[in-house]
Amino acid sequence: MNERVLTVLGWAATFTAIAMYVSYIPQINNNLHGIKGNWLQPLVAAMNCTLWVTYGYFKKPKRDWPIIAANIPGIIFGLAAFMTSI
């Protein structure tokens, strides 16, 4: 694949990953209203996303911004879902 196609693919994957993590909002809302969800999956997702952000940030020769952007919402929403479910 050429570089342009890979760039478009990377950003498309970024937007779908962000949509996946934004989908935690209903679980967070339920948790806050006393309908507690599972805490393990969001915690593991946040840990996984932290690893990917670290990888993307330190990747050489240049940072991998689609990976970083795709996983930052996973850290935020994963931790929010985890914290509200305990």
Tokens of 9: 């693919």
pLDDT confidence band for 28 (50 / 70 / 90): very high
pLDDT confidence band for 1 (50 / 70 / 90): confident
Peptide bond into 61 cis (omega under 30): yes
Per-residue pLDDT, averaged over 9-23, amounts to: 93
The mean pLDDT of the chain is: 95
Residue 86 has pLDDT above 90, yes or no: yes
Tell me, letter by letter, the H, E, C secondary structure of 34-55: CCCCCCHHHHHHHHHHHHHHHH
Among candidate residues 38, 14, 10, 11, the one with its CA nearest the CA of residue 24: 38
Q: Domain locations in the chain?
A: 3-85
Tokens of 5: 């196609």
Residue 22 has pLDDT above 90, yes or no: yes
Per-residue pLDDT, averaged over 30-37, amounts to: 96
Q: What percentage of the chain exceeds 90 in pLDDT? A: 91
Residue 55 has pLDDT above 90, yes or no: yes
